Amino acid sequence: MWVILRVKSENQILNMAFEQIEAFLKKMQSEPELKNEVLAASTADDIARIALKLGFEFSGDELLRMSGKKVGSITVRKTDLPGEYN
C-alpha cells in the first residue's frame, strides 16, 4: 500500500499564516484589552506568542511581512527601535 503525501507550497503556507494574522487582527479590533496587550508588546515575536495563546498560529516574521498592509481599521506597521538590527 502506497501513501501519497501532498506537500504544501510555501505560498499556501504563507496564505494560511496571513489568514491567521487577519483573523487575529479582527479579534484585536473588538477587544480593547487585547489591543492594549499587543500595543505593549516589544517585538513581532511577542505578538505572535500572544496570538498563539488565543489559538492563532503565525510567526513574528510572518507578521512583519504584512507591514504596511491594512486589515479593517488596523495598519500593520513595524516600529523601528533604537539599536535594532534589520
Model confidence over 45-80: pLDDT tens digits?
Answer: 999 999 999 999 999 999 998 888 887 778 888 777
Residue 53 lies in a domain: yes
User: Residue 81 and residue 8: Cα distance in Å, rounded?
Assistant: 35
Q: Closest Cα partner for 60 from 75, 50, 71?
A: 50
- pTM of the shown model: 0.75
Of residues 73 and 13, more confidence is placed in 73
Residue 85 lies in a domain: no
Of residues 27 and 85, more confidence is placed in 27
Mean per-residue pLDDT, 14-40: 90
Q: How many domains, in total, are found in the chain?
A: 1
The domain in which residue 71 lies consists of 13-75
First vs last Cα of the chain: how many Å apart? Answer: 49
3-state DSSP of the chain: CCCCCCCCCHHHHHHHHHHHHHHHHHHHHHCHHHHHHHHHCCCHHHHHHHHHHCCCCCCHHHHHCCCCCEECCEECCCCCCCCCCC
Residue 57 lies in a domain: yes
Of residues 15 and 32, more confidence is placed in 32
Percent of the chain with pLDDT over 90: 49
pLDDT value at residue 44: 92
Pull the grid cell for residue 62: 510572518
